[in-house]
Amino acid sequence: MKDWAWHTVLQLGTAEAFYTTLRARAAANLTQAELARRIGTTQSAIARLEGGKVSPSFATLRRYARATGTRLTVGLVQADR
């Protein structure tokens, strides 16, 4: 049997993941402060999330997605070796 290594498509902590959150907020035409109000957090918390300073929970990412009119999806792909 082949030995498979898997990782999540959205690797929290990667530049791509944080760039995705910035694009979602920009497409929703929201400032960090407006997004924070929709999510129920502070502007500084949004800045930390978008700046890669924290690793958000899935619950936070779901709220972020709802607030920006996007959908959170998670998948597994075969890892490069």
Tens-level pLDDT at each residue, the chain (81 residues)? 333 333 333 444 466 666 788 889 999 999 999 999 999 999 999 998 888 778 788 888 899 999 999 988 877 777 776
Q: Please, which residues have CB within 8 angstroms of residue 76's CB and are 6 or more apart in sequence?
A: 6, 7, 8, 9
Residue 14 has a pLDDT of 61
pLDDT of residue 19: 75
**Continuous segment of H or E residues that includes residue 27:** helix 15-27
User: Which domains does the chain carry?
Assistant: 6-78 (1.10.260.40)
Query: What's the pLDDT score for residue 3?
Result: 37
Predicted pLDDT at 4: 35
CA distance 68 to 76: 24
pLDDT score of 79: 75
